[in-house]
Chain A
Amino acid sequence: GAVVSQHPSRVICKSGTSVKIECRSLDFQATTMFWYRQFPKQSLMLMATSNEGSKATYEQGVEKDKFLINHASLTLSTLTVTSAHPEDSSFYICSARDVAGQASRGYTFGSGTRLTVV
């Protein structure tokens, strides 16, 4: 089945530094990937939609200059949290759907990145 690899799984960084998270579709091409954030005991909130070869679409309230998204190929999307602060500490998850597959298969998620900013 469709597999999405996300890296790193866990990162601890100092306040003010930037962190890059990678999301790869391993056995399918993904023209669109999605980035979510999940705070403790809350649901996943969509941050942005990453489009291969074009600009990402950000949800309302998400700062595009803070959360930089690059989708340079059909199998790779990256999210960079710039100048991270403690309030950015969260669980970041990417997802994609194999567009060649059936819609009923839903979306496959990466294993998530737990970011802690100290």
Chain B
Amino acid sequence: RKEVEQDPGPFNVPEGATVAFNCTYSNSASQSFFWYRQDCRKEPKLLMSVYSSGNEDGRFTAQLNRASQYISLLIRDSKLSDSATYLCVVNKGYGGATNKLIFGTGTLLAVQP
């Protein structure tokens, strides 16, 4: 089983749609969680951190359920510029040897005009 699992998609949605991505992780000791965005042939860029209380940044809302080891990302009012691969990322530890990011395979979003 992969440490971080995502539906690879693609998700093809019209402009203005709301789309949700899900992610599960296997290591219950994981400490911090992120969503990154990666455009084609580019490096990943941090979209937002994910907290147990849930957090929102404009059109983006992230949720974390530690009991279910489940992370979600909701995008409202999709824009063409949202088209990218969204990576679910988990940090396994605070420091030392366990302090490293584990990436999901990513979910491809294609927003259609």
A residues near B, CB below 8 A?
A: 32, 34, 36, 42-46, 49, 57, 91, 93, 95, 103-112, 114
Contact = CB atoms under 8 A, between A and B. Distances in A.
16 contacts: A34-B100, A36-B103, A43-B106, A44-B44, A44-B103, A49-B97, A49-B100, A91-B41, A93-B44, A95-B101, A103-B32, A106-B49, A107-B101, A111-B43, A112-B42, A112-B43
Contacts of A111: 42-43
Residues of A contacting B: mostly: strand
B89 to A, nearest CB: 8
Contacts of A93: 43-44
Contacts of A108: 46
Contacts of A57: 97
B12 interface: no
Given A43-B103, A111-B42, 10 more contacts: A34-B101, A43-B104, A44-B87, A44-B103, A93-B43, A107-B46, A108-B46, A110-B43, A112-B42, A114-B41
B75 interface: no
A32 B87 CA distance: 22
Most chain B CB within a 10 A radius of its CB, from A91, A107, A110 = A107
Please list the 7 inter-chain residue pairs (A to B) with the smallest Cβ-Cβ separation, ordered nearest first: A106-B46, A109-B43, A104-B49, A43-B105, A43-B103, A44-B103, A112-B43
